[in-house]
Structure 1
Amino acid sequence: MTISALVLLVALALFLIQRFDVVAAEREQVLVEHGFARQIDELNAVIATQVDWDDAIRSLDHKFDAEWADFNVGNYLYTFNGFSHAFVLDSSARPIYSAVKGERSDAAGYAPFATVAARLIPAVRAAERQRGPFKQRLGKNNIIIPPIQTTTTTQLAGVTYIVTATLVQPDFGKVLPKGDRAPIVVTAKPIDKALLGAFSARYLLNELLLIEPTVKPDKRQQIVLRDADGAGLVALSWVPRAPGTVLRQSLQWPLLGGIGLMGLLAFLVMRRGGAIVSELIASEARSRHLAFHDQLTQLPNRAMLFERLRLMLAQLADSDHQLAVICVDLDRFKDVNDTLGHHAGDCLIQTVAIRLREACGQNATVSRLGGDEFIVLYRCSSQQQVADLADRIVMSVAEQMVSEFGRIEVGCSLGVAIIDHPGVEPSEALRWADVAMYRSKDSGRRCVTFFEPEMDDALRARRALESDLREAMSDGSLHMVYQPQVDRGGQITAAEALVRWNHPQRGAIPPGIFVPLAEETGLILPLGEFVLRRVFAETSGWGDLRVGINVSAVQLRSNGFAALVTRLAAQAGADPANYEIELTETALLGDDPVTAANVEALKRLGFSIALDDFGTGYSSLSVLQRFSVNRIKIDRSFVCALDESGEGEALVNAMVKLARSLGLSVIAEGVETEDQRQRLLACGCREFQGYLTGMPQNASSIAGLAGIKSAAAIEALSRRA
């Protein structure tokens, strides 16, 4: 009886072990199937981003631009996402562009993919017809045009590809398709080692490889990838995890121990089995927690936020309460990362998360959307309740944080969208709060803004201005002016290059508007290259007259920036010794190796370095010494203060003495009155820049004022540039 019971116990244990393996394998099979489908969706989203665009309509439909296609389709998709083939088909499905591995090729490159493309195109055209022609601007009434795509897999020359056909569509709606049929972009991405490696690492798969679909090796699982006809092309095969087998292997010696140890063995099996089950349950709980929580702050992440927001919006139908969606964005968080490092930024994010939970209490849901942006969901009965909560959040975040990095102070800007009726999409509610938050940023930060419908118009205007800025770099509305810098005798010793924008409809747009916009939208690098190219072209014949060029922190942190400056100067025949790179103090703070390498390379090539707006940032002797700055520029705020009190004069005097002790030259900016110039002379300053000494002028005017003999040549260069 005892032996029978023990045998039954062992049989039960082996059955449970086998079931553990089966359940784990089944769950892993579903995970891989869903994961590969998600992988294809993510690749399709990348393609749609590049072709669902007004510029794409203009450059691929209205008038085909091969260089645009190279940069935005062929080269971009290959360089950043691994699409080995990219083709553009016209309305008659004829290839008008072909790129293989990021390089433009002839039409023969499309031939191998013509058959599979022909299977995909009808579905795209059918969806295009169902969508119908655009009868109004897309940006009106928040119309969103979903991408039109269809995807399959195919096999060519032994390589399996994911092939997608995507219809070219507008996004902002400034440019609409010229006919009933828009071009179609066909892309192919090979399922190679890189893709398999990334997919395997993402879903923790063992020995992932491609095999024939008819081969079914023992102890392996697989999913079959099929072509447009449903025929199996290849199978993704992997070795499933087997927790039960691991358990059996760890217990095989005790099982052979003998009848005398059977009782103890049974106890160990049950105990171990319970531990495995508990571990599986705990692992599932951890996985679910990680899937719905931010790892840094343990707050709900984007996925859980959308789930809860959708539920709370639906509950508005049966409630007399309102839902407040509060977007919280830290002010100047980037400065903390730049000056103290990313670890300090992480500590700050964790502290802010704790303060938000404490300020909001149990009646609100606090989540981290990403970066330094948080979302608070709060049920309320009045706007005053929301305003009180928002004020608590602003005050809580503004409290000084004491850490291993010293005392850190940041503020936050809040945008609030109050929703009192069901039917609003979660993404739309978040967008409203985000629009209001950016209005707070524009209003001076550390404030709260409630969403109003007219704010959408301002956002559209901002996006339109961004689009216009892209065009301005090629249509001639951007140009350079130069402000003279003079010595105490009034002789021009240098000039600072300044970019100006004359908008065709809006007139002159100040740099204080379009330069920050360029930094926020990623246009600062092409804008900076435009400025460098134009300045070198217009001033290369100025001889020994020094020219100052402003460079942003983003440019300085860009790999290869020094090489770009050198190449542009060489193309224009400009001598680096006649140029001064003007940097802000914030750009030189921190331990960024790319910044240090770029500065060192520029100095080695002969460019001098000036520290602009000196005294307004985190001024330190270490910055002046570490980067071997040649000159400092006293900010206009200190020059203006000379007229107000003796403290301003004392500060300027101290700056001049500091510069002299370090062997640096010094110049004062913003000199507008003769009294300011005299006071600066008394402090020991010998160079000046401002409206008193000279207004910004074009290149030929500066050449004439400085007595440069090649002024005519400069003017010709200016016109040509």
Structure 2
Amino acid sequence: MSILSTVRRNGARVYIGVQALLITATALVAVAYFIVPRESGVPNWLLLTCFVLSATGLGLLEYLKRTVTDQLKDAVRIEAERTRLTENDLLTGALTRGRFLDELSTSIGTLSKPRRIMLLLVDLDHFKQLNDGFGHQFGDQALAHLVACAKHCFPDCTIGRLGGDEFAILMYGNDLDRCRSRAEKLLSMLQQGRVCEGHQIPLGASIGIAIAPEHASSPKELPLLADLALYESKGAGRGRITVFDPDMLSEKRQRRFMERELRAAIYLNELELHYQPLTDAERNCTALEGLVRWRHPVRGMISPAEFIPVAERSNLIDMVGEWVFRRACLDLDRLSCERISINVSGEQLKRDGLVHMLDRVLQETGMAANRFVLEITETVATAATPEIIARIERLRAMGFHIALDDFGTGHCGFNYIKTLPIDSIKIDRSYIRNLGHDRIAQVFVSALTQIARIQGLTIVAEGIETETEFELARAAGCNRFQGYFLGRPQPAPMVRHKSEHLEPLALSA
């Protein structure tokens, strides 16, 4: 390390030291100049020495002064950059979540002296579909464009990014009409869209508004109420502006909280995939069905019947669906199983993103599509549009097997089976449990198995809970069986443990 670099790093300390040394040396030379006799010739030498020391010292001091000044400028620049990085979102320029919430806490005042402010939560509609369809670069541009439009429409307000595609605007005062007018202008600007590959892509957003102190005077409570209003906007069809109303509490609040907890559960890996065996007539395991479960840290195991509808209403079903399929891909070889069956929601089938997601996960995990069965319910199939049918055909062309689940619960006639791109039919439990005493159930199952045999379809009897039900379903012509009698859903480690150490399962395609 050079002396010069040491001086640069410690400029302020060296400056003070040199200054003190220069003053001391000059004082000593001056004293000596007056004490030493002039006849000796020494005073002239001391005067020259004093001049040299002064010139050198002053030069060094000037250099150190510039060094210290540069250091101060660097420190100011670094501090400004650090502040920018910690307080402003790099992509959009909006305040970061923490900085915005600090600003909200300051602006809302105290209980004794509350201030009137309006909090707007803005969520970019269909952001995941924008990313999947046009790429993450366009998605980033859309987020930055939203903030640019917000700054134009709310020039005197504070704008922050709370995370992902959710932003917040803090407007001071309580002029709700003015606030709503600005919000409508924002939606109008977004609707004009952005250009992607020569095409103008319109953007949309949903907005929820809460007012302090009318609705809440706490910086923690106000965002929750604005979030409920935002949830109402999404539920009403998106692209809307909703002001919080006390009637939004209770059931909707509970649903919204579950939605937020479910979103966190996906990231925190609280979901689990349990597997239930499907067997042939000799009770050999031919496949496993993956059934998603949510192990909540406080509430324990939450039923899919409770959280799947919430996921479907909030578009979290796409995230849940990807988690389930990725988990199944990772578990497939470890389960020593030829094929895994998973359920696909009707909401997923409405979007092309499902096909892209399945293809992407297959490529990332190295799995083949023909090792998976995608189950769709009869209700979804009967209400399927031509676009959904075409999407199912694309999945089948990729190699996926398609199963029609819960057959007999809807209005799907036998003739309809011929038009559906399916490989197997799962008969609903309500028919299987009545095979021993219900003539209609017997005729229905028998007729279905004969049609399936002609069509080359596999028939699965669901909900087998007793030996008698198993024998009756087998006698009726079913060739695959599933139910508690043959095996309960279990986590993957228990399935592996059972197959490896207790009673090995004979697997077949």
Please, what TM-score do these two structures have when normalized by structure 2?
0.54
Counterpart of 1:531 in structure 2 is 324
1:488 is aligned to 281
* C-alpha deviation, 1:607, in angstroms: 0.8
Distance across 2 between alignment mates of 1:196 and 1:480: 40
1:551 correspondence with 2:344: yes
Checking the alignment, whether the CA contact within 8 Å between 2:89 and 2:161 is kept in structure 1 is no
**Gap change, CA 1:133 and 1:588, over 3 Å in 2:** farther
Which of 571, 596, 610 matches 2:403?
Answer: 610
Equivalent positions of 1:228-627 (< 5 A) are 428=245, 432=247, 456-542=249-335, 545-590=338-383, 592-621=385-414, 623-627=416-420
Q: Identify the residue that residue 17 of structure 1 maps to in structure 2.
A: none
Given the superposition, is the C-alpha separation of residues 643 and 608 from structure 1 closer, same or farther in structure 2, using an over 3 Å criterion? same
Tell me by how many angstroms 1:493 deviates.
0.6
- Give the equivalent residue in structure 2 for 1:694: 487
Question: What secondary structure does 1:146 align onto?
Answer: strand
**Distance in structure 1 (CA, Å) of the matches to 2:111 and 2:263:** 24
Q: 2:108 aligns with which of 120, 126, 131?
A: 131
CA-to-partner distance for each residue in 1:12-49, whole Å, 9 max, x for gaps? xxxxxxxxxxxxxxxxxxxxxxxxxxxxxxxxxxxxxx
- CA separation of 1:585/1:196 partners in 2, compared to 1, >3 Å: closer, same or farther? closer
d(CA) in 2 for partners of 1:700, 1:656: 35
Match of 1:147 among 108, 119, 122: 119
How far did 1:161 drift?
A: 5.0
**Secondary structure of residue in 2 paired with 1:490:** coil
- Alignment-derived partner of residue 641 in structure 1: 434
- Partners of 1:525 and 1:505 lie apart in 2 by 25
**Higher alpha-carbon deviation: 667-676 or 464-473:** 464-473
Contact 1:494 1:545 in 2 (8 A): yes
Given that 1:544 and 1:578 are in contact with CA atoms closer than 8 Å, whether structure 2 keeps it comes out as: no
CA deviation vs aligned residue, 1:449-475 (integer Å, no higher than 9, x gap): xxxxxxx54543333222211111121
Q: Distance in 2 between matches of 1:195 and 1:607?
A: 42
Change (3 A) 1:370 1:538: closer
* Aligned position for 1:207: none
2: CA distance between counterparts of 1:595 and 1:167? 40
Conservation of the 8 A alpha-carbon contact between 2:273 and 2:291? yes
Residue matched to 2:473: 680
Residues 533, 568 of structure 1: 8 Å contact kept:
yes
Secondary structure, aligned partner of 1:685: coil
Q: Deviations over 1:559-616 (max 9, x none)?
A: 2311210111221121211111111123233563432232122111111100000111
Instruction: Give the whole-Å Cα distance in 1 for the aligned partners of 2:346 and 2:490.
Output: 26
| Per-residue Cα deviation, 1:31-74 (whole angstroms, up to 9, x for no partner) | xxxxxxxxxxxxxxxxxxxxxxxxxxxxxxxxxxxxxxxxxxxx
Cα offsets for 1:318-352 (capped at 9, x unmatched): xxxxxxxxxxxxxxxxxxxxxxxxxxxxxxxxxxx
Kept after mapping to 2: 8 A contact 1:553/1:587: yes
Shift of 1:652: 1.6
Local SS of the residue matching 1:147: strand
Match of 1:653 among 446, 450, 454: 446
Q: Residues 98-155 of structure 1, C-alpha deviation per residue, up to 9 Å, x if partnerless? A: 226xxxxxxxxx6xx99xxxxxx99x96x864512689xxxxxxxx983179xxxxxx
Counterpart of 1:642, as a letter, is L
Give, in whole Å, the separation in 2 of the partners of 1:196 and 1:487: 56
Instruction: Give me the whole-angstrom Cα distance separating, in 1, the residues matched to 2:191 and 2:314.
Output: 32
Conserved in 2, the CA contact under 8 Å of 1:585 and 1:612? yes
Paired residue secondary structure (2:395): helix
Cα gap change, 1:707 to 1:487, in 2 (>3 Å): farther
* 3-state SS, counterpart of residue 426 of structure 2: strand
Correspondence for 2:456: 663
Matches within 5 A, 1:68-217: 95-99=87-91, 129-132=106-109, 146-147=118-119, 161-162=152-153, 164=155, 165-166=157-158, 168=160, 195=189
Alignment deviations for residues 404-451 of structure 1 (CA, whole Å, 9 cap, x no partner): xxxxxxxxxxxxxxxxxxxxxx974xx64xx7xxxxxxxxxxxxxxxx
Give the direction of change, closer, same or farther, for the CA distance of 1:620–1:168 in structure 2 (3 Å limit): same
Aligned equivalents of 1:694 and 1:588: distance in 2? Answer: 28
Give distance in 1, aligned partners of 2:342 and 2:262.
20
TM-superposed deviation, 1:666: 0.5
Larger mean CA deviation between 482-491 and 542-551 belongs to 542-551
**Higher RCO (C-alpha 8 Å, min separation 6):** 2
Q: Quick one: structure 1 residues 655 and 457, their matched pair in 2 at CA, closer, same or farther if it must change by over 3 Å?
A: same
Q: Which protein has the larger Cα radius of gyration, Structure 1 or Structure 2?
A: 2
What code does the residue aligned with 1:680 have? A
Amino acid paired to 1:499:
V
Alpha-carbon distance between aligned partners in 2 of 1:163 and 1:480, rounded to the nearest angstrom: 46
Q: Return closer, same or farther for 1:570/1:623 CA change in 2, 3 Å cut-off.
A: farther
Deviation readout 1:273-310 (Å, 9 max, x if unpaired): xxxxxxxxxxxxxxxxxxxxxxxxxxxxxxxxxxxxxx
In 1, Cα distance between equivalents of 2:244 and 2:189: 30
Task: Look up the SS of the partner of 2:404 in the other structure.
Answer: strand
Asked if structure 2 preserves the Cα contact closer than 8 Å seen for 1:577 and 1:608, the reply is yes
- Structure 2 counterpart of 1:576, one-letter code: A
**8 A Cα contact 1:147 1:166, kept in partner:** no
Is the Cα contact below 8 Å between 1:540 and 1:573 reproduced in 2? no
Q: Is the 8 A contact 2:108 2:117 kept in 1?
A: no
Cα offset, 1:168, TM superposition:
5.0
Unpaired runs of at least 5, structure 2: 1-80, 122-150, 163-182, 194-234, 238-242, 505-509
Q: State the alpha-carbon separation in 1 of the partners of residues 259 and 341 from structure 2.
A: 27
SS in structure 2 of the partner of residue 641 of structure 1: coil
Report how many residues are paired.
Answer: 318
Percent of paired sites with the same residue: 32
Match of 1:3 in 2: none
Conserved 8 A contact 2:392-2:421: no
1:508-533, CA deviations, whole angstroms, 9 ceiling, x for partnerless residues?
Answer: 11111111121122211111111111
CA distance, structure 2, for counterparts of residue 196 and residue 475 of structure 1: 33
Note the residue ranges of structure 1 that are not aligned, 5 or more in a row.
Answer: 1-88, 101-109, 115-120, 136-143, 150-159, 171-188, 200-368, 372-425, 436-455, 712-721
Q: Structure 1 residues 128 and 478, CA, compared in 2 at 3 Å: closer, same or farther?
A: closer
User: For the aligned residues, what is the CA RMSD?
Assistant: 4.1
Distance 1:572 1:196, change over 3 A: closer
Distance 1:551 1:668 in 2: 19
Equivalent AA in structure 1 for residue 300 of structure 2: G
Change (3 A) 1:145 1:462: farther
Alpha-carbon shift at residue 492 of structure 1 (Å): 0.5
- TM-score, normalised to structure 1's length? 0.39
